[in-house]
Amino acid sequence: MERSLAYENDLSNLEATELRLGLPGTDESEKQSSRNNKRSSAEMDNSCEKDEQECAPAPKAQVVGWPPVRSYRKNVLHQKNESELSGMFVKVSMDGAPYLRKIDLKVYKNYQDLLKVLENMFKCSIGVYSEREGYNGSEFAPTYEDKDGDWMLVGDVPWDMFITSCKRLRIMKGSEAKGLGCL
Amino acid sequence: MAQSFPEDVLEHVFSFLNYDKDRNAVSLVCKSWYEIERLCRRRIFIGNCYAVSSEIVIRRFPDVRAVELKGKPHFADFNLVPEGWGGYVYPWIVSLARAYPWLEEIKLKRMVVTDESLELISKSFKNYKVLVLLSCEGFTTDGLASIAANCRNLRELDLGESEVEDLSGHWLSHFPDNCTSLVSLNISCLGSEVSFCALERLVARCPNLKTLRLNRAVPLEKLPNLLCRAPQLVELGTGAYSAEIQSDIFSNLAEAFLGCKQLKGLSGFWDVVPAYLPAMYSVCSRITSLNLSYATAQNPDLVHFVSQCSNLQRLWVLDYIEDTGLEALAASCKDLHELRVFPSDPFDAEANVSLTEQGLVAVSEGCPKLQSVLYFCRQMSNAALVAIARNRPNMIRFRLCIIEPRAPDYLTLEPLDTGFGAIVENCKELRRLSMSGLLTDRVFEYIGTHAKKLEMLSIAFAGDSDSGLHHVLSGCESLRKLEIRDCPFGDKALLANATKLETMRSLWMSSCSVSFGACKLLGQKMPRLNVEVINERGLPDSRPESCPVEKLYVYRTIAGPRVDMPGFVWTMDEHVSSRLSRVTERRGD
């Protein structure tokens, strides 16, 4: 245990004096620094697997093949972790806009954050959600296509359920969205 | 002498002998028994594909229906055997195809299997029934398509935990409509989605299907469709066990499980959503085998589910079960034979869960039939090991992995020699042992003295000197497989026990202190051993004799040195000196 603490102290000292292009105060996690050793992406062939265990998130130096966990098992558990780290990009269209945008839903914590970003991105006003009225009164209403292919109003379900079921977003003109707001 | 019985009577008697050991014993009685036995042996097990050649096998046993082959050494599971080392099955398939047109079963473990091999299998045998590929690699879903398309009477297709290049899920649709013979299908290792319609129809038309292990891509909502068409299932591996919380999905699932009255084994459970675990409550009391080792559920959901399975005999689970969960297990599952606890976060030095030696002690106290253990944890004490040994003298397999190498008894800071010593002394039937933690030569003295039935021993980061290795090689009479990594064992013990190695299947030593010179000597002294040196960094420039080898794999063989070695593997025998000098010349570029 002491070994890893000393290692972490060294790392934090290095960071303070490091020259880099990021803004001061931006956080660069240890996960990223060890992942730089890995050859780029998941498109690489299977020989990358050996690198994978050398790039595990813990700051400690990795011993090959220890602990004795089968690659198969490691990959399966890793997949879960990797999906937590990779983005959840969905297309966003707005009625009347010439092209679509893409956003990463994982980056936002709640509906407030998401709506604010959408408003900024498309220079529109979406307004406030109400369970009864939807976005009635707003110029635009955000909708999304869920896993079943249905178009739903953004805001009805809990945030966690929303980000797992949302396949794409569409910002509709408020006049068209009137039908959705009624219960 | 033995003329009293006519041949066919003897043959009939021998037909009741299924174990290799028995058949081998029978064939040693006299020449005529040897002859009769060899003509009627139908199943062959070859624990090391390089220990014998296919020609020798075919010459002795002319009418074989089932072949089982193992390739790479066990430590290949942990990436210690470099890519390209060997274990190619293709040459075997070519020989088997020529010699045994009536071959029905092939089971392979840790072998390199190509699509070519699979295609050859699918086209060569008139009544092909069983294909089991455990921890294999080298093939794609195209190879599987050949098997599906051409094996009219296929009964079993088990892909184990193989690494398959998944080109598409379309291969499953190659099973013809008139294929109704499947009894067992395990595709759990595949990544991509198979056509659900094709799967559904296949399951529906195979009335004898007993084992079905799906892959992660099969969604939970669709599981009831399959269960309704196969209520006779005995073993089920689910796909991803997650869905949005919807009452109709839950009720469909619960109803489908209610119909599965024969279900005894469950596995799968990727991405598990705990709210769906209760859908299986109707089958829990009949479950004897439960593999939750991919289920990232935590307590209380996890322990609550496990405790429902009062007739559980085998449990594989992640360390999310924690000590509290294992205490509950000890109280509710009195029939437990086997427990495996895997680490959820193996590379973090800090514990993310509250799983310690206490959990294992509790299970050893509460479960009188416990005989097989694989346990990953972060702390251990001699006291705990002694307690486990005293509680469970019936232990047969004991594999303990303390995550930190060389970790001492966390209470006393002493080595764990006493603890493991108690295990081998009390558990007189112990056949397999894996050790970890801080261990000195003393533990090997205990092992050599007491572990007389031990067949397989795994050692890592342990021992002080050659006498450790010497105790094991000279004392363990039943030893068949010995695998060692990162231990200070060298030439002396190895050379002093050279003849012992011919009584074993294999010895693996990596990151130890065995020199090239000693390997050469061993190879020259023992012509019936293949002494293979694996050195990825090539040969040493200066003083090669005294330089330590990276990895050493020694195995007995009647097939001589193998001919399919990659450039970084050398067989050390009489011819090695000239071969080595040629290689060092080649390496100059």
- Render pLDDT for B279-290 as a digit per residue (tens, 0 to 9): 999 999 999 999
Asked if A4 reaches chain B (Cβ–Cβ under 8 Å), the answer is yes
Q: What local confidence, expressed as pLDDT, does residue A59 receive?
A: 46
Q: What local confidence, expressed as pLDDT, does residue B94 receive?
A: 98
Q: What local confidence, expressed as pLDDT, does residue A109 receive?
A: 79
Question: B127 and B106 in contact (C-beta within 8 Å)?
Answer: no
Q: Per the CB < 8 Å rule, is A57 touching B189?
A: no
Q: What local confidence, expressed as pLDDT, does residue A19 receive?
A: 54
Chain B hits for A161, CB-CB cut-off 8 Å, are 244
What residue of A is the nearest CA neighbor of B404?
A: A67
Of B75-79, B130-134, B455-459, B543-547, least confident by mean pLDDT is B543-547
Does residue B148 carry a pLDDT above 80?
yes
**Strands B551-556 vs B569-571: parallel, antiparallel or unpaired:** unpaired
**CA–CA distances in Å: residue A138 to residues A34, A130, A156, A162, A171:** 47, 11, 17, 21, 11
Place of tokens 């003897």: B10
B137: confidence class by pLDDT, cuts 50, 70, 90? very high
Asked if A158 reaches chain B (Cβ–Cβ under 8 Å), the answer is no
Higher-pLDDT residue of A176, A40: A176
The conformation of residue B496, written as its DSSP 8-state character, comes to H
Asked if A49 reaches chain B (Cβ–Cβ under 8 Å), the answer is yes
Name beta bridge partners: B315.
B290, B339
Residue B177 tokens read as 């409509």
Asked if B485 reaches chain A (Cβ–Cβ under 8 Å), the answer is yes
Distance separating alpha carbons of residues A163 and B353, to the nearest angstrom? 28
Chain B hits for A159, CB-CB cut-off 8 Å, are none
Does residue A49 carry a pLDDT above 80?
no
Give me the phi and psi of B344, to 5 degrees please. Answer: -80, -25
Give me the phi and psi of B248, to 5 degrees please. Answer: -75, -35
- Render pLDDT for B453-467 as a digit per residue (tens, 0 to 9): 999 999 999 999 999
Question: B166 and B141 in contact (C-beta within 8 Å)?
Answer: yes
- Render pLDDT for A111-120 as a digit per residue (tens, 0 to 9): 888 988 898 8
Of A1-10, A32-41, A162-171, least confident by mean pLDDT is A32-41
Asked if A156 reaches chain B (Cβ–Cβ under 8 Å), the answer is no
Q: What local confidence, expressed as pLDDT, does residue A5 receive?
A: 44
Chain B hits for A72, CB-CB cut-off 8 Å, are 135, 161, 163, 189
Distance separating alpha carbons of residues B575 and B381, to the nearest angstrom? 50
Rounded percentage of chain B residues whose pLDDT exceeds 90: 87
Residue A1 distance to chain B (closest CA, Å): 7
Of A17-31, B117-131, B234-248, B250-264, least confident by mean pLDDT is A17-31
Residue A14 distance to chain B (closest CA, Å): 22
Number of H helices, E strands in chain B: 21, 23
Question: B377 and B354 in contact (C-beta within 8 Å)?
Answer: no
A6: confidence class by pLDDT, cuts 50, 70, 90? very low
In one-letter notation, the amino acid at residue A44 is M
Chain B hits for A5, CB-CB cut-off 8 Å, are none
pTM for this prediction: 0.79
The conformation of residue B107, written as its DSSP 8-state character, comes to E
Place of tokens 């190509």: B114
The size of the A-B interface in CB pairs under 8 A is 72
Of A46-50, A87-91, B154-158, least confident by mean pLDDT is A46-50
Residue B252 distance to chain A (closest CA, Å): 18
Q: What local confidence, expressed as pLDDT, does residue A164 receive?
A: 81
Distance separating alpha carbons of residues B27 and B39, to the nearest angstrom? 11
Distance separating alpha carbons of residues A101 and A120, to the nearest angstrom? 12
Distance separating alpha carbons of residues B333 and B335, to the nearest angstrom? 6
- Render pLDDT for B73-109 as a digit per residue (tens, 0 to 9): 999 999 999 999 999 999 999 999 999 999 999 999 9
Distance separating alpha carbons of residues B230 and A91, to the nearest angstrom? 40
Q: What local confidence, expressed as pLDDT, does residue B502 receive?
A: 97
Name beta bridge partners: B340.
B316, B374
B379 Cα distance to chain centroid: 26
Q: Per the CB < 8 Å rule, is B79 touching A68?
A: no
B352: confidence class by pLDDT, cuts 50, 70, 90? confident
The conformation of residue A71, written as its DSSP 8-state character, comes to H
A43: confidence class by pLDDT, cuts 50, 70, 90? very low
A45: confidence class by pLDDT, cuts 50, 70, 90? very low
CB within 8 Å of B315: residues ≥ 6 apart: B290, B292, B306, B329, B333, B336, B338, B339, B340
As a whole number, mean pLDDT of residues B251-264 equals 96
Distance separating alpha carbons of residues B126 and B151, to the nearest angstrom? 8
Distance separating alpha carbons of residues B409 and B405, to the nearest angstrom? 12
The conformation of residue B321, written as its DSSP 8-state character, comes to G
Q: Per the CB < 8 Å rule, is A73 touching B163?
A: no
Does residue A21 carry a pLDDT above 70?
no
A183: confidence class by pLDDT, cuts 50, 70, 90? very low
A148: confidence class by pLDDT, cuts 50, 70, 90? confident
Asked if B293 reaches chain A (Cβ–Cβ under 8 Å), the answer is yes
